[in-house]
Amino acid sequence: MSGLVSEAPKEAAMQPAAEKPAAHRSLGRALLAEPKVVIAGGFVLLLVILALFAPYIAPKDPLEQDLMLGTLSPVGGSTYEPGYYLGTDDLGRDVLSRLIYGTRIALTVAFVAAGLAALIGTVLGLVAGWYGGWIDTVISRLVEIWMAFPPVLLSILLVAVFGSGVHSVIAAIVIIDWTRFCRVIRAETMAQARLDYVTAARTMGYPRLRILIREILPNVAPVLVALLSLEMGIAVIVEAILSFVGLSVSSDTPTWGGMIAQGRQIIYQGWWVLTFPLATLFATVLAFNLLGDGLRRALDPVLRR
């Protein structure tokens, strides 16, 4: 009898540890069962690999110029030259290599800018939605004032003030787009605060900060993850726009926006210089959007049913 009694606490202590791997396996199956997560996530992973190993994957030096090889056509074209699979631009630079190196700038801006904007906006949104009162009023009025400015024009103005460079582009996106996270997370926090599990936590006497971090934050995470993925796509577009108008990194650095601006000028001599970076930009933004929607469906227990 004493043996049965002593074994019961051990089984109770082991139960949470057994439930945690089971929950992880359930989440993993939910992610793999969502086609958008698999396809879009695979494409984004491919971009990450290209960005990390660009020096080893790119067939040519993206800055190497040879005017004798200017506007060579891609594979299958009449002026195709072996080794230049996507052709060359008017300066003889390899389009494929410049595309691969341009992935570095695009993903750096996407991950860093979206992550910082999410951090600032989420903290302010959680505080405003949970504590309410004058804190909510101040943050909400600040968001409304901030969103009154046209985002693209404001980003161009900020980069012009800060100076060109990746850091300036990231700072401009963060300064502008934190409001997007703040509004959504505030509304979601207010909705969660009315639910029964929050009322139960309050009844049990848990501190308000603990309820916010341990109870509400995990339940707004699916919305946050989806919004973060969407913001990455927006950051890629903003960086491309700033590169297109010459306000991002230096003109020597390969960027998708810079390639699009260059290809627009020689569209009749080399359509591929414009088409390939434009198609890559479109596919990347679409992948981030699909990934965000897929993650939201996979992480939300209500939608999983």
Angle between helical axes of 95-131 and 35-52 (0-180°, round to 10): 120
Of 3 and 261, the structure prediction assigns the larger pLDDT to 261
Gap between the Cα atoms of 154 and 299, Å rounded = 34
| 17 has a pLDDT exceeding 60 | no
Which region holds residue 256: left if phi is over 0, alpha if psi is between -120 and 50, else beta? alpha
| 178 has a pLDDT exceeding 60 | yes
- Tell me what percent of the residues of the chain surpass a pLDDT of 70: 88
Gap between the Cα atoms of 41 and 203, Å rounded = 41
| 46 has a pLDDT exceeding 70 | yes
Structure tokens at 180: 């997007």
Q: Among candidates 277, 189, 273, which has minimal Cα distance to 239?
A: 277
Least confident span in 30-34, 138-142, 214-218, 287-291: 30-34
Encode pLDDT of 238-253 as tens digits.
889 888 888 777 777 8
Encode pLDDT of 255-270 as tens digits.
999 999 989 988 888 8
Gap between the Cα atoms of 41 and 29, Å rounded = 15
| 101 has a pLDDT exceeding 90 | yes
Encode pLDDT of 120-165 as tens digits.
999 999 999 999 889 999 999 999 888 888 777 788 788 878 777 8
Confidence bin at 302 (pLDDT 50/70/90):
low
| 117 has a pLDDT exceeding 90 | yes
| 275 has a pLDDT exceeding 80 | yes
* Mean residue pLDDT across the chain: 84
pLDDT at 37: 87
Of 80 and 14, the structure prediction assigns the larger pLDDT to 80
DSSP letters, the chain, are: -HHHHHHHHHHHHHHHHHHHHHHHHHHHHHHHT-HHHHHHHHHHHHHHHHHHTHHHH-SS-TT---GGGTT---TTSTT--TT-TT-B-TT--BHHHHHHHHHHHHHHHHHHHHHHHHHHHHHHHHHHHHH-HHHHHHHHHHHHHHTTS-HHHHHHHHHHHH-SSHHHHHHHHHHHHHHHHHHHHHHHHHHHHTSHHHHHHHHTT--HHHIIIIIIHHHHHHHHHHHHHHHHHHHHHHHHHHHHTT-SS-TTS--HHHHHHHHHHTTTT-HHHHHHHHHHHHHHHHHHHHHHHHHHHHH-HHHH-
